[in-house]
């Protein structure tokens, strides 16, 4: 009885074991053929890579140092740092007394030279003096005329006037100081327009050669709620040796509601005309497989068969997380197709996949 029961138990155990083994094999095969969930992305048109934002520094149209062209003692100034002045305003004067005396002396010499010339001409007409005497008298008169003009010019140099509407940036010399000719006494900034200086990276400028500026605007760096139109002025053709950037200048008329002074921080937004890539599509960079040497490809999803096929593509440009592509050979990429956007390196030909919808 014991032997029979033992045999019965062993038979049941073997049967269950065989049953388990036979059931595991199809489960394993089934798991291998089960579709894998993948994240898909839709092939879309190229967005407009034509708007760029740059930090900017406000500057004056020009900054000039005022100086006298003659030397003397400064006796009057009207230079208040930070003040706005109009073109033609008298800003500074040096002592005019020595220059006025020189003008009087030059006038006296000119009168004397004129009288001497008249006397010599009369004597020459009477053949009492030689031609050389007449020539000497004429030369003396002409030199006296020149000397008077120089004296009057030096006298006019004793007053400095504002050459343009400006802001007094800095006063460099105080009143009653002796100033030599050419010594700066004040620094003026031409603020008839507001200049915005931006630095454009070399790669960006090179990539967009030939594209015109569609529009540009600027605003405060601390408050970007309101943008104001600006106009292109100029750009440098030599990059900065350290930063490898090109300086570009934009300008606008001064605005009361936009308090900007030279040195202030601002932001400039530039939109370019046209497109660098009129044809092609974009896919996520993560959807690319391969490399530059062997070529790139994407895995295209077929929603009818739930299978993926490998499609070679030409990568024209990469901007942030997007790749601009063109189809290569037969079966080119078309707009609206879906490609594997994550885990593309794990795909194989005709692999069954299902779109991952994410948690709801």
In the structure encoding, which two tokens stand for residue 104, read together?
């009087």
51-65, 141-155, 229-243 — most confident range: 141-155
Q: Please say if the pLDDT value at position 54 is more than 80.
A: yes
φ and ψ at residue 75, rounded to 5 degrees: -115, -10
The pLDDT value given to residue 359:
56
Q: Is the pLDDT of residue 6 over 60?
A: no
Comparing CA positions, the residue from 55, 64, 60 lying closest to residue 247 is 55
CA distance 67 to 181: 7
User: Which residue shows structure tokens 């007394």?
Assistant: 97
pLDDT band at 10 (very low <50, low <70, confident <90, very high): very low
The token pair at 23 is 């059931």
The C-alpha atoms of residue 236 and residue 234 are separated, in whole angstroms, by: 7
Are the CB atoms for 273 and 48 separated by under 8 Å?
no
Please name the residue ranges forming H helices in the chain: 2-33, 97-125, 131-156, 202-207
Q: Return the number of other C-beta atoms located less than 10 Å from residue 293's C-beta.
A: 5
Q: How much is the average pLDDT of 352-358?
A: 82
Are 197 and 240 within 8 A, CB to CB?
A: no
Q: Rounded to an integer, what distance in angstroms lies between the CA atom of residue 175 and that of residue 73? A: 8
Share above pLDDT 90 across residues of the chain, in percent, rounded to a whole number: 49
The span from the CA of 232 to the CA of 28, in Å, is: 68
Query: CA-CA distance, 292 to 288, in Å (whole number)?
Result: 11
Residue 28 has a pLDDT of 44
Q: Please give the Cα distance from 200 to 245 (Å, whole number).
A: 5
Q: Are 79 and 168 in contact (CB under 8 A)?
A: yes
C-alpha–C-alpha distance, residues 305 and 167, integer Å:
74
Architecture of domain 278-355: Beta Barrel (2.40)
Question: pLDDT-based confidence at 358, cuts 50/70/90?
Answer: low
Query: Quick one: CA torsion of 221, 226, 231, 233, rounded to 10 degrees?
Result: -10
Higher-confidence residue of 33 and 155: namely: 155
Mean pLDDT is highest, among 29-43, 106-120, 238-252, 346-360, for 106-120
pLDDT digits (tens, 9 = 90+) for 260-282: 888 899 999 998 876 666 677 88
Helix (H) / strand (E) containing 91: strand 90-94
51-60+192-272 belongs to which CATH class? mainly beta
52 pLDDT higher than 70 = yes
DSSP 92-108: EEE--HHHHHHHHHHHH
Helix axes 97-125, 131-156, angle to 10 degrees: 160
Q: Which CATH number is 68-184 given?
A: 2.40.50.100
Q: For residues 129, 135, 136 and 142, what is the CA-based torsion angle, rounded to 10 degrees? A: 140
Max mean pLDDT range (11-15, 67-71, 205-209, 356-360): 67-71
| Rounded Cα distance, 308 and 64, in Å | 69
SS3 79: coil
Tokens at residue 161, please? 């006037």
* Alpha-carbon gap, residue 205 to 296, rounded angstroms: 27
Convert the pLDDT of each residue in 150-196 to its tens digit.
999 999 999 999 999 899 999 999 888 999 999 999 999 998 899 99
Domain spans in the chain, listed from the N-terminal domain onward: 51-60+192-272, 68-184, 278-355
Give the model confidence (pLDDT) of 132-146 as tens digits: 999 999 999 999 999
How confident is the model at residue 329, as a pLDDT?
Answer: 57
Non-local (6+) Cβ contacts of 291 within 8 A are none
341 CB-side CA count, 13 A: 16
Average pLDDT taken over every residue of the chain: 84
Using one digit for the tens of pLDDT, what is the confidence trace for 65-124?
Answer: 999 999 999 998 888 998 889 999 999 999 999 999 999 999 999 999 999 999 999 999
Average pLDDT over residues 334-360: 84
pTM of the model: 0.58
Output the pLDDT for position 320: 73
pLDDT of 195: 95
pLDDT at 293 over 80: yes
> Is 214 within 8 Å of 232 (Cβ atoms)?
no
């Amino acid at each position: 009885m014991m032997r029979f029961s033992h045999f019965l138990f062993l038979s049941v155990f073997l049967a269950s074991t065989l049953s388990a083994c036979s059931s595991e094999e199809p489960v394993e095969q089934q798991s291998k053929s089960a579709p894998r969930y993948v994240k898909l992305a839709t092939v879309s048109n190229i967005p407009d890579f034509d708007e760029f934002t740059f930090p900017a520094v406000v500057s004056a149209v020009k900054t000039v140092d005022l100086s006298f062209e003659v030397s003397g003692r400064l006796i009057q100034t009207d230079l208040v740092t930070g003040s706005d002045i109009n073109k033609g305003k008298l800003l500074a004067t040096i002592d005019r007394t020595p220059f006025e005396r020189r003008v009087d002396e030059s006038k006296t010499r000119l009168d004397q030279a004129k009288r001497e010339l008249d006397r010599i001409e009369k004597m020459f007409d009477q053949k009492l003096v030689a031609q050389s005497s007449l020539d000497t008298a004429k030369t003396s008169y002409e030199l006296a005329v020149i000397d008077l003009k120089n004296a009057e010019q030096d006298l006019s140099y004793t007053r400095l006037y504002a050459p343009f509407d400006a802001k007094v940036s800095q006063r460099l010399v105080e009143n009653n100081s002796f100033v030599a000719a050419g010594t700066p006494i004040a620094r003026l900034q031409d603020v008839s327009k507001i200049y915005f200086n931006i630095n454009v990276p070399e790669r960006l400028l090179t990539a967009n050669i030939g594209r015109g500026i569609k529009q540009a605007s600027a605003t405060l760096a601390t408050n970007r709620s309101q943008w104001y139109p600006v106009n292109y002025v100029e750009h440098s053709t030599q990059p900065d040796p350290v930063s490898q950037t090109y300086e570009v200048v934009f300008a606008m008329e001064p605005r009361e509601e936009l308090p900007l002074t030279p040195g202030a921080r601002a932001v400039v937004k530039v939109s370019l005309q046209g497109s660098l890539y009129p044809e092609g599509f974009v896919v996520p960079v993560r959807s690319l497989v391969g490399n530059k040497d062997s070529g790139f490809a994407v895995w295209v999803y077929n929603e009818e068969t739930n299978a993926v096929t490998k499609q070679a593509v030409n990568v024209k440009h990469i901007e942030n997380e997007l790749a601009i592509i063109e189809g290569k050979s037969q079966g080119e990429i078309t707009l609206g197709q879906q490609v594997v956007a994550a885990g593309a390196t794990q795909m194989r030909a005709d692999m069954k996949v299902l779109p991952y919808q994410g948690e709801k």
